[in-house]
């Protein structure tokens, strides 16, 4: 899987689940990595929440994948994604975010020692990819379970981007103040 998938107008259920399982596993791996190196309690809490929530979603998606594998996989273009208040009230946060190929590569971050700020910046972009992928699934699927899952991912990733954006600002300010007072 790669960012090319987001350039399509539709996605079938199986491709959505495969892409999202890999995508979530990358976030889980990154969160485990930052948990070993960070001393920031907010970063550590975010990482724990991402590990917990996305592990649960991966397990659910694996079950859906098995159940969906043998069903007719027609697409539907009548569903519309819910647009979160975050996206409508704060468009500057969500625009200009781009998909990164590493969002779909399981081994990319295994030996990477990232700072808290690098983690937050990458997770903003990473979550935006999930947001876009879920919106694509919403307008494509006829499966009510995948539709519900895609809406949940859409809303949760939108909220997470909003929180991470302000965490990034806070980290930058604290880094700046630390350097200033040195």
The CATH number linked to 142 is 1.20.1260.10
**Is residue 54 a part of any domain in this protein?**
yes
Average pLDDT of span 135-139: 88
Q: What is the end-to-end Cα distance of the chain in Å, rounded? A: 45
Owning domain of residue 62: 9-68+79-181
**Is residue 105 a part of any domain in this protein?**
yes
Q: Which tokens is 100 given?
A: 């990164």
> What pLDDT was estimated at residue 164?
93
Who contacts 130 (Cβ-Cβ below 8 Å, separation ≥6)?
20, 23, 24, 27, 153, 157
Average pLDDT of span 31-47: 93
Largest CA distance in the chain: 63
**Is residue 2 a part of any domain in this protein?**
no
| CA distances from residue 130 to 106, 146, 162, 181 in whole angstroms, order as listed | 15, 14, 14, 39
**Is pLDDT above 50 for 18?**
yes
**Is residue 109 a part of any domain in this protein?**
yes
**Is residue 62 a part of any domain in this protein?**
yes
Count of structural domains, the chain: 1
**Is residue 63 a part of any domain in this protein?**
yes
Task: Give the pLDDT confidence of 141-173 residue by residue, as tens digits.
Answer: 888 889 899 999 998 998 898 899 999 999 988
pTM above 0.75, yes or no: yes
Task: Give the pLDDT confidence of 49-99 residue by residue, as tens digits.
Answer: 999 999 999 999 999 988 876 665 555 556 666 666 666 676 666 666 555
**Is residue 74 a part of any domain in this protein?**
no
**Is residue 118 a part of any domain in this protein?**
yes
For residues 151 and 148, what is the distance between their CA atoms, to the nearest angstrom? 5
């Amino acid at each position: 899987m790669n960012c090319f998938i987001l350039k399509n107008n539709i996605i079938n259920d199986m491709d959505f689940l495969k892409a999202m399982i890999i995508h979530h596993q990358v976030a889980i791996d990154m969160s485990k990595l930052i948990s070993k190196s960070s001393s920031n309690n907010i970063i550590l809490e975010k990482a724990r929440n991402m590990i917990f929530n996305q592990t649960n979603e991966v397990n659910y998606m694996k079950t859906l994948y098995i159940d969906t594998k043998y069903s007719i996989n027609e697409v539907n273009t009548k569903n519309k994604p819910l647009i979160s208040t975050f996206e409508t009230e704060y468009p500057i946060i969500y625009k200009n975010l781009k998909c990164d190929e590493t969002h779909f590569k399981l081994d990319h971050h295994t030996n990477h020692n990232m700072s808290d700020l690098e983690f937050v910046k990458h997770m903003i972009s990473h979550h935006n990819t999930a947001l876009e992928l879920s919106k694509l699934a919403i307008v494509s699927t006829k499966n009510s379970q995948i539709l519900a899952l895609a809406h949940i991912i859409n809303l949760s990733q939108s909220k997470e981007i909003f929180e991470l954006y302000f965490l990034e600002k806070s980290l930058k300010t604290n880094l700046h103040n630390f350097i200033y007072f040195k």
